[in-house]
């Protein structure tokens, strides 16, 4: 049976994926009600929500998911019947230099949301309820040259980021098993698209190429990631929210594996054309730098379950999606300038030093 939420609490809706989800959900469900709870950390940006903030069913609350009182009030006052939980510290490199905030936000924050949701759901205030945990393929660890992660692959997280996400996923499982709470869990591969913060591979490379800066490629550049357009991820989350059975877990992926160096070469070549540079000119910016500690070699998602059971498949090809993404960054240089001012510069120097 299809579940149509009356009132959604979206956490982390000012971040990359959360904001794309809100844009896409409102477009598909024009009469919906959405409360966006976001602490506006360095990764949160209200400019990501231009165009939805005037929607009559949308409101923004600046606040912390670890604030139990605030979460309880929002759940009760807005009769929330679905929590879609994106809020997180999301960057692996930052988790290596400062893991503590990852445990606080990703583990404690998720537990706070789960606990307040449990009380709200058990109070009987709403007829039906769903808690959807947005997670990552990184909880499964690293693959060799062959094979895929399925929903039954054991969790084997390797970075402080992925360990904190695995901890959160297990808490979600525990709330379902222990209290019978109606939870859902999705685990997606690497996203790309508009509003992607330029600390992550694709937007960092686009930003540095435009500015003729070195392109830092970790290790031998042969690590593999499976890339999915963020709006395809958003569509999958909506399908899972509405159609999945309580307690279920779904992998989401693009079936689109790339070695990092091949992605970097592709972005270089597409920008040679767009920026009117000589063929091969941008590739000269590539600089191999020291590897990420504990760098997972390969991620590859088997999303068969989502396709067979809920009839979801990506709508975009990578060829179109990457070109559109590059064009979005070229057309939105004000957005990039704003997010790369101030604290970003400090982060960049600490992370890459004078190597890049």
Binding residues vs ligand NAD (CB under 6 A): 11-12, 14-18, 38-41, 43-44, 64-66, 86-88, 90, 105, 109, 134, 136, 165, 188, 190-191, 197
DSSP state at residue 167? H
**Footprint on residues 85-124 left by ligand DAU (CB under 6 A):** 90-92
Query: What sections of the chain are H helices per DSSP?
Result: 16-28, 68-77, 92-97, 100-102, 109-122, 160-179, 201-210, 230-243, 260-274, 304-310, 318-331, 333-339, 343-352
Asked if 347 interacts with ligand DAU (CB under 6 A), we say no
Give least dist CB 178 to ligand DAU, A: 26
**What does 81 bind: ligand DAU, ligand NAD, none (CB cut-off 5 to 8 Å by kind)?**
none
**What does 14 bind: ligand NAD, ligand DAU, none (CB cut-off 5 to 8 Å by kind)?**
ligand NAD
- Altogether, the residues listed in the chain come to a count of 356
Asked if 223 interacts with ligand DAU (CB under 6 A), we say yes
Instruction: Quote the CA–CA distance of 39 and 14 in Å, as a whole number.
Output: 9
118/196 with CB nearer ligand DAU: 196
127/346 with CB nearer ligand DAU: 346
Asked if 235 interacts with ligand DAU (CB under 6 A), we say no
Total Cβ atoms within 10 A of residue 13:
30
**What does 92 bind: ligand DAU, ligand NAD, none (CB cut-off 5 to 8 Å by kind)?**
ligand DAU
Rg (alpha carbons) of the chain, rounded to whole number: 20
Burial of 293 (0-12, 13-18, 19+ CB in 10 A): exposed
25/197 with CB nearer ligand NAD: 197
| Tokens linked to 87 | 């809020």
Counting residues that bind ligand DAU (by CB under 6 A) gives 19
**Footprint on residues 186-205 left by ligand DAU (CB under 6 A):** 189-190, 200-201, 204
Instruction: Quote the CA–CA distance of 320 and 322 in Å, as a whole number.
Output: 6
189/255 with CB nearer ligand DAU: 189
Instruction: Quote the CA–CA distance of 199 and 235 in Å, as a whole number.
Output: 24
The residues, ordered by sequence, that sit 6+ positions from 194 with a Cβ below 8 Å of its Cβ are 20, 230, 325, 328, 332
Instruction: Quote the CA–CA distance of 318 and 314 in Å, as a whole number.
Output: 10
Among all chains, which residue has been given the structure tokens 């120097």?
349
**What does 238 bind: ligand NAD, ligand DAU, none (CB cut-off 5 to 8 Å by kind)?**
none
Site string for ligand DAU, 73-92 (x = CB under 6 A): -----------------xxx
Q: Helix crossing, 230-243 with 16-28: angle to 10°?
A: 60
Q: Helix crossing, 160-179 with 109-122: angle to 10°?
A: 20
Q: Which listed residue (38, 138, 151, 238) binds ligand DAU by CB under 6 A? A: 138
Question: Which positions are annotated as active-site residues?
Answer: 137-138, 161
Give least dist CB 331 to ligand DAU, A: 22
CA atoms within 13 A on the CB side of 117: 33
Q: Which listed residue (130, 225, 229, 233) binds ligand DAU by CB under 6 A? A: 225
**What does 35 bind: ligand NAD, ligand DAU, none (CB cut-off 5 to 8 Å by kind)?**
none
Asked if 137 interacts with ligand DAU (CB under 6 A), we say yes
261/275 with CB nearer ligand DAU: 261
| Tokens linked to 192 | 């790309």
40/343 with CB nearer ligand NAD: 40
64/238 with CB nearer ligand NAD: 64
227 contacts 263 by C-beta, under 8 angstroms: yes
197 contacts 338 by C-beta, under 8 angstroms: no
**What does 44 bind: ligand DAU, ligand NAD, none (CB cut-off 5 to 8 Å by kind)?**
ligand NAD
Binding residues for ligand DAU, rule: CB under 6 A, are: 90-92, 136-138, 189-190, 200-201, 204, 216-218, 223, 225, 260, 292, 299
């Amino acid at each position: 049976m299809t579940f149509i939420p009356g009132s959604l609490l979206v956490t982390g809706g000012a971040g990359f994926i959360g904001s794309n989800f809100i844009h896409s959900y409102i477009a598909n469900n024009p009469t919906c009600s959405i409360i966006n709870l976001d602490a506006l950390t360095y990764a949160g940006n209200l400019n990501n929500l231009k165009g939805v903030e005037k929607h009559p069913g949308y409101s923004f609350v600046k606040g912390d998911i670890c604030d139990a009182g605030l979460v309880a009030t929002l759940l009760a006052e807005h009769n929330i019947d679905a929590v879609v939980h994106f809020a997180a510290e999301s960057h692996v490199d930052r988790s290596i230099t400062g893991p503590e905030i990852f445990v606080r936000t990703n583990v404690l924050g998720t537990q706070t949301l789960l606990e307040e949701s449990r009380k709200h759901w058990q109070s009987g205030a709403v007829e039906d309820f769903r808690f959807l945990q947005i997670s990552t393929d990184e909880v499964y660890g690293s693959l060799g040259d062959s094979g895929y992660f399925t929903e039954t692959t054991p969790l084997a997280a390797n970075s402080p980021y992925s360990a904190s996400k695995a901890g959160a996923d297990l808490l979600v499982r525990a709330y379902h098993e222990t209290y019978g709470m109606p939870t859902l869990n999705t685990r997606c591969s690497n996203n790309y698209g508009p509003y992607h913060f330029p600390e992550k591979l694709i937007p960092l490379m686009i930003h540095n190429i435009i500015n003729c800066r070195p392109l830092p490629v970790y290790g031998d550049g042969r690590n593999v990631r499976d890339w999915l357009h963020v709006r395809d991820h958003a569509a999958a989350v909506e399908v899972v929210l509405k159609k999945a059975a309580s307690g279920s877990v779904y992998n989401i992926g693009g079936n689109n594996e790339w070695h990092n160096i091949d992605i970097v070469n592709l972005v270089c070549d597409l920008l040679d054309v767009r920026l009117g540079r000589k063929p091969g000119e941008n590739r000269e910016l590539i600089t191999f730098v020291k590897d990420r500690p504990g760098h997972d070699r390969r991620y590859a998602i088997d999303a068969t379950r989502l396709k067979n059971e809920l009839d979801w498949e990506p709508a975009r090809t990578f060829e179109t999606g990457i070109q559109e993404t590059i064009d979005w960054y070229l057309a939105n240089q004000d957005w990039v300038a704003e997010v790369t001012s101030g604290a970003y510069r400090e982060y960049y120097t600490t992370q890459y030093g004078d190597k890049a």
